[in-house]
Structure 1
Amino acid sequence: MAEEESLELEENAAPKSKKKLIIFGAIGLIVVLIIAVALWFFLGSSEPVADATDGEVETEQTEPVNNREAFYVGMPRPFLFNLPGQGRSRLVEIKVQLMVRGSDDDVLIKKHIPLIEDALLTTFSSADVQKLSSLAGKDELRQLALLNVQNTLLPVTGRKVVEKVLFTGFVMQ
């Protein structure tokens, strides 16, 4: 009698496990299909969109506005300064490089490094510790530094020589 009950239990357990296997397999297949469709949608072909009125294909303009070669001028020393914080002062070290266009601007920037260092140090030392803790605050500081460097060099060079200010190192303790 006990053997018959155990055989019945084993026979009844097999269909349930097959049902579970089929259900989990179907769910897994659906998940894989959803992921495949999402990847196809997001990473699909980036062909230009055809204009319905003209029948012509629109292409993006990939030609740079300023086609001269980019040069990167590193500041000779990192900027090291203290910023007062809510609980304590923070020591900040920023390594900076400037992007300019053309070899003539490269030479011009190297000639005026002390003036640029002064503008950058003035900008950095007026920053707020809480803003520098976020990515948006660092981006804002980078844009402010670019504007200050451009405004400082404008009377000396007669034009905006620096295209970008890049932080190649940023440490705050």
Structure 2
Amino acid sequence: MAEEDNQAEEQEQTSSGKKKWIIIGGVAGLLVIVIVIAVWFMSGDQQTVQASQSNSVETPASQSSEQPAQVGSALYVGMPRPFVFIVPGDARERTVQISVQLMVRGEQSEELTKRHIPLIEGTLHEVFSSSTADELRTAEGKQRIRQLALQQVRAALESVTGQGLVEKVLFTGLVMQ
């Protein structure tokens, strides 16, 4: 009888030991899969950025007369904080938050642009706060505001540096309440 009890205990310990190893193996396998997926996404982002940078250089024949000469690779200068302002709406005023990045060409343009961020922020805030909620609701209105912002930023930078520096004003986030 005592031998049967010992055998039963040994079988329980063996089966619980196997269960522990199965659980540990499953967790380790899941961890490996998560790490592989994370590495794959990170390397994919770098390849996409590199590919877009290498494809972003246009030939002079494809440039329009309004665009400045494109020298160097595209670099992006982010504004340190989003622009928050109030615009008139149809029935009431709306609060708007816009996150902006500026596309420039070459490291020298990037450095000059970063040096004049307060001037750029002030100019963009004037342009954005002069808009209306109706303009910000439509794609055409957003495009018009981006073009106006680009013109105003270029003019402000030209008055200080002698160069327009900025090629595009990009909205990376727009929230209206």
TM above 0.5: yes
Question: d(CA) in 2 for partners of 1:92 and 1:145?
Answer: 16
- How many correspondences in the alignment? 112
Question: d(CA) in 1 for partners of 2:90 and 2:170?
Answer: 28
Change (3 A) 1:78 1:119: same
Q: 2:94 aligns with which of 90, 96, 101?
A: 90
Question: d(CA) in 2 for partners of 1:143 and 1:162?
Answer: 12
Is there any run of 5+ residues in structure 2 with no aligned partner, and where? 1-57, 64-69
Q: 2:73 aligns with which of 69, 73, 79?
A: 69
Structure 2 counterpart of 1:153: 157
Question: d(CA) in 1 for partners of 2:89 and 2:168?
Answer: 28
- Superposition pairs of residues 121-160 of structure 1, within 5 angstroms: 121-160=125-164
Paired amino acid for 1:76: P
Question: d(CA) in 2 for partners of 1:129 and 1:142?
Answer: 15
Structure 1 counterpart of 2:121: 117
Q: Shift of residue 67 of structure 1?
A: 4.0
Paired amino acid for 2:118: P
Secondary structure of the structure 2 residue equivalent to 1:156: helix
Q: Normalising to structure 2: TM-score of the pair?
A: 0.61
Structure 1 counterpart of 2:40: none
Question: d(CA) in 2 for partners of 1:67 and 1:123?
Answer: 28
Please provide the CA RMSD for this pair: 1.2
Q: Shift of residue 155 of structure 1?
A: 1.1
Q: 2:111 aligns with which of 64, 83, 107?
A: 107
Identity of aligned residues (%): 54
Paired amino acid for 1:137: G
Q: Which has the higher helix share?
A: 2
- Superposition pairs of residues 45-64 of structure 1, within 5 angstroms: 63=59
Paired amino acid for 2:59: E
Q: Shift of residue 86 of structure 1?
A: 2.4
Secondary structure of the structure 1 residue equivalent to 2:96: strand
Is there any run of 5+ residues in structure 1 with no aligned partner, and where? 1-61
Moved over 2 A (4+): 62-65
